[in-house]
Structure formats: C-alpha cells, structure tokens
Structure 1
Amino acid sequence: MPKIPLNDLQAFVTVARERSFTRAAAQLGMSRSALSHAMRALEERLGVRLLTRTTRSVSATEAGARLLAGVAPRLQEIELELGSLSALRDRPAGTVRITAHDHAIVTALWPRLLPLMHEYPEVRIELSVDYAMTDIAAQRFDAGVRTGNRVAQDMVAVPIAPPLRMAVAASPEYLAGKALPKTPHDLMQHRCVNLRLPTHGGLYAWDFERKGQALAVRVQGQATFNNTFLMLQAAVEGMGFAYVPFDTMEQHIAAGRLVPVLEDWWPTFPGYHLYYASRRQIAPALALVVEALRWRGP
C-alpha cells in the first residue's frame, strides 16, 4: 500500500463532508482544479473510486464513505494533539469556533470574549448564530451553547449564565380594545410572533409552567423569525405577543412600550452552558475561552 500524505486525506475528508469541490477548496485555501486533481491522484494511489462527481454535487462512494468514517476521527485527534503543543508557548493562540443563538451571544458570550481578545491578540473567536441542535464535531466547531437541560450527556458542560426566564408581552397599541389572556391557551385567540426552528423546520411551541403544571401552546400570527431581537422588535411595533427571554424585554416593559401578561406562567430554564467534546487535554485557546465564560454567580 502506497504512503498517502495527510494533506490529501484531509482534503478528501473536507470534500466528502462539504459535498462540493468549490466549498472544500475555499476552506482548504486552494484552487478547485488543484483539489480535483489531488482527489484523482488519491484515487489512483488507492486503486479505488472514492467520490462520485456530477455537474451539481459530489458524494462519497461506498469505499469513500468507509474511508471517511475511519479517517476523519483520527485526523481530528492529530489536529487536537498538534494544537495542544501551543501550550508550550507563552501566549495562547488559534481560532475558537462556537455555535450559539443570538441571545446567548449578545448576553453571555460577547461581553466576556471581547476583553479576552484585547488581552490575547493571537486568539481568534468565530461565533456562528444558529438555533439548530448543532453537531459540533460534524460541523467542526470547538464548542456550542445551549441551555443546561439540552446538553448531551457525553459532552463537557460548563455553566456560563444564570437561569433563563422566558416572558410574554405585547404593545399597548396591539392590546387596545382586546381582552388580556388569562391562560396560555388564550394566546391562540391572539396574533403572536413565531419562531421557526431550523432543525425540523417547524414553529416553536411556547412553553409555560405554573405550580408544577407544564404545557406548550402553538400560536399563530403574521410574522415569523429565527432571531430573538427581531421577534422582540415586531412585538414593540404592534405585531402581537412575543415570547422571548425576559432580560431582552425588561427595558421595554419599564418604558411602557410592552405590556407583560401571564407572569405567573413564565417558565425558567437552566442557564446557558458552553459544551465541548470530552477529551484529556483541550487546546489552550479553548481552555482560555472556557475560563473567561464560566459563570461564577452574581
């Protein structure tokens, strides 16, 4: 069996995952033609076809899928070990990629990561806004953020924020002449601002809880977003009720721009947790981020 350069295997893994020579070439910092030539050369060395090419897409053959499953985890282990060598340097360096949704980034991540980046200029932070249940390993993220009750058990989870209280409110203009809802089910008779979840494409059912009784309500309305702050803005501008974290609407309630309802039904969830794959030694830059974000109470 001929020796295969690790760069060629990494290139193959990137193409197989992206299913596109164009996207893979952009990630690898090489031309599409050079990448295509490298993949053909790899197939010739191995004596087996790894990729099925069409005018619109690229997919792994049976042999390619087997190689991907066997090689990708080992390449990631090599990258982690090489990254850990930077611990020998005086200052941490490298890129930390984190997936989280907008509210977590604005309230928990960015305020504490900004001073960290000023202190450590060689540490780069990439924040990706996403409401999906992202597989951080498959998508090549270093870490993700979810509420504590939604973190997989095989992940290391670090609390980074206090408990999260959700709230419901609408503008005085929308409520003019309307009866206030007395139970969560009454919201079904009102116009509400919806959140679409990317994982399954459905609309988020609003969760409520009171005295141990939990229920979920599917609401209707004219406006649907996948962004917390746009949902809040729509409510302020009279598009109906919004269901968002209380800390985002608190100032609007205080200023009279929003009227809260059903306060005794507002649920509280475990606060945001930063999660990452369990391993013996994490990259120094990620370790620095973990400690910067760790929640230590008020």
Structure 2
Amino acid sequence: MNKGVWPVNRDDLTDLNAFVAVAEEKSFTRAATRLGTSQPALSNTVRRLEARLGVRLLTRTTRSVTLTPAGEEFLKGLKPAFEAINLSLETIGSLRESPKGKIRITAPRHAAISLLWPMLGSFVKDYPDIEVDVNIDAAARDLTGDRFDAGIRLGELVAQNMVAVRIGPDLRLAIVASPGYVAQRGVPITPHDLLQHTCINFRLPASGELYAWQFKRAEQEVKIRVPGQLSFNDPDMTLAAALGGHGIACLIEDHAHAMIRDGRLVRFLEDWCPLFPGYHIYYPTQKNNSAAFRILIDRLRFRSR
C-alpha cells in the first residue's frame, strides 16, 4: 500500500456519508432526520471524522452550519463518488424481481387528488417494496436541491430542460359565479366586461403575483387583470368564495364541474376558454431511471381512450 493512502472501511463510509448529509442539508437536525439517527450521534460522527482527518470541515454556530474551505473541497471530491455508489445500487436494484426504492414527488393538490392518488392505491399494493413520498405544494420546487425525484405541473409550466410525460387529459378554465351574484350584477358577455364586475383573484404560489385571466377565441387572445376585494392562493378557497356569492371566479373546469351541473354555479364566457395542456410528471434529463421509477412513470402515463 502506498504511503499516505487512507484505507477505507465500512465505518469510514458511514462517517463520510454523515458529512455529506450535513453539508447538503446545512443543518445537523435535518441531516439526522434524513439519515434516521439522532442529532448528538451525528455531531459526534462528524467530529470523529474531523479528528481523524486532522482538519476542520464545518463551521458550527447556534443558527447555521457552513462548510470551511477544506470542507468545500472535500465535499466536491466526495459527491461524485457517492453518486456513483448510488447509481450502482439503483442499477443492481433494478435487477431484482421485486423493484425496491423510494420515490419522492411534489405535486399541486388538484393533480395529487385527481390523478396521482387514484393510481397510488393499486400501485403500493402491487409493489410493496416501493415507497412513495408525496409532497403537496402548488409552487414549483427545485427537484435536485429539494431531493425530489419528480414533480407534477401543468404542461405549459414545465421547463424545457426537463423530461415531461403527460399523465392527464387537456384541461379548460371555467368562469363561474353564484346565481345570486348573477341576479344582482348580470352576466359578462366578453372578457373585458369583467372589469365592471367583482372578481375573486388567484395569487400564484410561485411568484406571489395575481394571475392574469387569459382568454382566447379563434385568433383573438385577451389577458385581463380583474378587480376584486378577495384573492387566494388556494382553489378551494376561491371556489368557496364564488359559492358564497362574493364574485366571479376562474377555476379549472373539473374543479367546479359538480357545482355547475347542479346549478350552484353559473358558467359564462365558455367560448373564450379553449383547452390547454393538462398535467405532466417531469424530472431532470440526467435522472437515473431505476426500475421502481420507470414503473411509476408508466402507471401514470396518460392513455387516451
């Protein structure tokens, strides 16, 4: 053995993995949760590693954990090695008769309830060794930074550098109000008439800006920023406000379908609301497709009937 080479054993790999987790999470608490251990035990593990290396890897304060210059260089060398190990483990795992692994997905509530959950019920029964962790969040998430395997978004919102697989039909917006509101204020005939009405705004979760209502008929496109006292970042609250007679709402059609059908909501401007791309599951182009991940994507894939 060459002089100065550090022989690596199983305990060393455990210590190195602990350091990588703390460095990525920038928190002993979050890293301990990720590794399934206690914060004191994890802290002792990292101190042991630093003592053996003879160099300080992390700077700890009561509020934060940051990498020292030595820690940054060490992490830079370790990450490719651990990524290679994970790739090998996933590759060998794909050869198992029963696929195994954990898949983390972020999705807006509407997509999770209407598309993801109907599939998951049978999926987890068919593949008991696959864990699926679903995070309900309407805002776009950094898949790599937040350690998600995939996300679900409307097709037009998926970044071009992502692989996108369609999982649902085209959708349409519905402009609706309660019969009581219509009786008092009348019905808008064109999108511009909305400027004379009280509307219920929707605040976009990602940007925090109010959604500009978009319409199209033939070749004519219109974008309207509507007036109104109320705004929400949740479609259920928007729907409740519309049912309560507080104004005109813009919702995804199937979110309001039952209320339109039974007369609790009146729909208008339907000819100005064309179809648009529905939900897609997306993931980075460099994502390693384990057997478990490929099976889940295939189960979700939209197949027109």
TM score, norm. by length of structure 1: 0.88
What 5-or-longer segments of structure 2 have no aligned partner?
none
1:30 positional shift: 1.2
Structure-2 residue corresponding to 1:210: 217
| % same residue | 49
Q: Deviations over 1:19-67 (max 9, x none)?
A: 3221221121111112222233334444544333222222334444455
Say whether 1:149 aligns with 2:149.
no
Structure-2 residue corresponding to 1:133: 140
1:297 positional shift: 0.5
Structure-2 residue corresponding to 1:178: 185
Q: Deviations over 1:106-160 (max 9, x none)?
A: 1221112211112222222211111222121111111111222232333222111
1:129-278 to 2 correspondences below 5 Å: 129-278=136-285
What 5-or-longer segments of structure 1 have no aligned partner?
none
Say whether 1:19 aligns with 2:26.
yes
Structure-1 residue corresponding to 2:58: 51
Equivalent of 2:120 in 113, 120, 133? 113
Q: 1:200 to 1:53 in 2, by over 3 A?
A: farther
Say whether 1:38 aligns with 2:50.
no
Equivalent pair of 1:108/1:161 in contact (CA under 8 Å): yes
Q: 1:192 to 1:59 in 2, by over 3 A?
A: farther
Once superposed, which parts of structure 1, at least 4 consecutive aligned residues long, lie more than 6 Å away?
Answer: none
TM score, norm. by length of structure 2: 0.86
Q: CA–CA distance in 1 between the matches of 2:71 and 2:97? A: 41
1:258 positional shift: 0.8
Amino acid at match of 2:15: D
Equivalent pair of 1:2/1:46 in contact (CA under 8 Å): no
Equivalent pair of 1:207/1:267 in contact (CA under 8 Å): no
Of 245-254 and 274-283, deviating more is 274-283
Say whether 1:80 aligns with 2:56.
no
Equivalent pair of 1:102/1:227 in contact (CA under 8 Å): no
Say whether 1:98 aligns with 2:137.
no
> Aligned residues, how many?
298
Q: CA–CA distance in 2 between the matches of 1:207 and 1:78? A: 48
Q: Deviations over 1:148-192 (max 9, x none)?
A: 223233322211111121221111123331032233343344333
Of 206-215 and 64-73, deviating more is 64-73
Pick the structure with greater CA Rg: 2
Equivalent pair of 1:163/1:270 in contact (CA under 8 Å): yes
Of 243-252 and 232-241, deviating more is 232-241
Pairwise CA RMSD = 2.5
Amino acid at match of 1:149: E
Q: 1:202 to 1:87 in 2, by over 3 A?
A: same
SS at structure 1 position matched to 2:111: helix
SS at structure 2 position matched to 1:244: strand
Of 14-23 and 240-249, deviating more is 14-23
Of 261-270 and 187-196, deviating more is 187-196
